[in-house]
């Protein structure tokens, strides 16, 4: 709350190291869950720099100062810019710690025993990225606000573009196997195949072409 944003904790069975993806406005719930499962973050991954996906960064970095905060290079400036991360527009000024590392298209990360590939997926924000967990069957996409179950991320923000978002989805996500699981930043999980077949904005029967 208040944006019904999904934060994910990802770990391999039996491992204590994990990844925290897009920590939102309830960092205490994240800290409690980490403690409950005896997990320690190996990295904080942010798919993009909007406030609802970065609000918990400060609390996690305070608890684990050496835990790297990783975001796409194009959205790194939003972490410390209340206008860029949209918090100023909602009447408050949220500032995250700066990025420890940025990623670009195709870069691989080895974290918590997992291999992830970053893909640049602009459209919702100019520097949005997704992280694809490799070596899993089916593959898993940590998708942020690109593709939702039956929907897509908003494109009416200052650096948003429907044309870019549609291209990102078609060229970066819809090329993955149909059974690929997509874990979005809002709402329930879905699969690539389901959205290719039924998504009203970008699926095979979509009628939306305007930016």
Reported as a single tens digit per residue, the pLDDT across 88-106 is 998 999 999 999 999 999 9
Main-chain dihedrals φ then ψ at residue 165, nearest 5 degrees:
-65, -45
pLDDT higher than 50, residue 57: yes
Average pLDDT over residues 5-14: 97
Examine residue 85 and state whether it is found in any structural domain, yes or no. Answer: yes
Average pLDDT of the chain?
96
Range of the domain at 121: 8-198
Burial class (CB in 10 A: 0-12, 13-18, 19+), 4: exposed
Give the chain's domain count: 1
Q: What is the pLDDT of residues 151-185, one digit of tens each?
A: 999 999 999 999 999 999 999 999 999 999 999 99
Q: How confident is the model at residue 211 (pLDDT cuts 50, 70, 90)?
A: very low
- Which pLDDT score is estimated for 209? 61
Burial grade of 91 (CB within 10 A; 0-12, 13-18, 19 or more): exposed
Q: Are 206 and 196 in contact (CB under 8 A)?
A: no
Q: Is 73 part of a structural domain of the chain? A: yes
Q: Is residue 2 part of a domain?
A: no
Asked whether residue 210 is domain-assigned, the answer is no
Cβ atoms 131, 177 nearer than 8 A: no
Structure tokens, 48: 């993009």
The answer to whether residue 205 is domain-embedded is no
- Other beta carbons within 10 angstroms of residue 89's beta carbon come to 12
| Distance between CA atoms of residues 22 and 139, nearest Å | 19
In a domain, 142, yes or no: yes
Look at residue 40 and tell me whether its pLDDT is greater than 80: yes
Structure tokens at 148: 């939702």
Residue 208 lies in a domain: no
Q: What is the CATH number of the domain that holds 101?
A: 3.60.15.10
Within a domain: 16 = yes
Q: How far apart are CA 53 and CA 42, in angstroms?
A: 18
């Amino acid at each position: 709350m208040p944006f019904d944003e999904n934060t994910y904790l990802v770990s391999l069975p039996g491992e204590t190291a994990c990844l925290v993806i897009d920590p939102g406005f309830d960092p205490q719930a994240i800290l409690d869950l980490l403690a409950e499962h005896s997990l320690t973050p190996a990295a904080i991954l942010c798919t993009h720099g909007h406030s609802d996906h970065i609000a918990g960064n400060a609390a996690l970095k305070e608890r684990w100062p050496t835990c790297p905060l990783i975001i796409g290079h194009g959205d790194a400036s939003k972490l410390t810019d209340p206008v860029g991360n949209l918090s100023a527009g909602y009447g408050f000024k949220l500032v995250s710690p700066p990025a420890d590392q940025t990623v670009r298209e195709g870069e691989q990360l080895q974290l918590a025993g997992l291999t992830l590939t970053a893909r640049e997926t602009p459209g919702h924000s100019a520097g949005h990225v997704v992280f694809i967990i490799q070596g899993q069957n089916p593959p898993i996409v940590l998708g942020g606000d690109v593709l939702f179950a039956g929907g897509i991320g908003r494109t009416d923000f200052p650096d948003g573009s429907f044309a870019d978002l549609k291209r990102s989805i078609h060229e970066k996500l819809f090329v993955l196997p149909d059974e690929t699981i997509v874990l979005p930043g809002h709402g329930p999980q879905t699969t690539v195949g389901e959205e290719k077949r039924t998504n009203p904005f970008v699926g095979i029967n979509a009628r939306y072409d305007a930016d």
